[in-house]
Structure 1
Amino acid sequence: MQTASFNGFIKMVIEIIVFYYAIKFIARLFFPIVVKKVVEKAQQNFQQQYQKTYEQEQDVTKKSKPNQEKTNKQVGEYIDFEEID
């Protein structure tokens, strides 16, 4: 059976502190790179969505029918009716 020693406890505390500062240092190095990649990816997605919307608007504009002139067709003779009380 092992017993806890003061030297072992100090060693463990020092290892935890070193590990904490190592992670903190690595995070400071890589966090800006990760954020930059995320922002670039979001920008690319927004640009693709805008491009799709713009292309769809162009298709609608191209597919829409040109204004046709209204023609007044003479279907028949106009009859004016009068009401009888």
Structure 2
Amino acid sequence: MGLLRTILIIALVYYGLKILSRIFAPYLIKYASKKAEERFGGQFGQFQKAPRKETDKREGEVTIDKMPQTKSSNKQVGDYVDFEEID
């Protein structure tokens, strides 16, 4: 009798959770998608609100903000090996 009762309780809990998940799953998915949308908008919203510097520039004007660092190349890298092509 105890085994039958345990199996019946497990089956009722399983089917109860299955029915409840069908009812509440759409609401949970909506809530999760809304939260994800808020986080996504919060991360990328700061870039849209940033002031633009380019409004002060006239068309065709060239400005250099930073000069690139010049790297000196080492001419004595490796050895030159002369070779002949063999047919």
Question: How does the TM-score come out when normalised to structure 1?
Answer: 0.57
Q: Does 1:33 align with 2:27?
A: yes
Matched-pair identity in %: 25
Correspondence for 2:57? 66
Runs of 4+ in 1 over 6 A off after TM superposition: none
Q: Does 1:42 align with 2:36?
A: yes
Question: How does the TM-score come out when normalised to structure 2?
Answer: 0.56
Q: Radius of gyration: which is bigger?
A: 1
The alignment covers a number of residue pairs equal to 60
Where in structure 1 are there 5+ consecutive unaligned residues? 1-6, 70-85
Matches within 5 A, 1:68-83: none
Higher helix share: 1
Where in structure 2 are there 5+ consecutive unaligned residues? 62-87
Q: State the superposition RMSD in angstroms.
A: 2.4
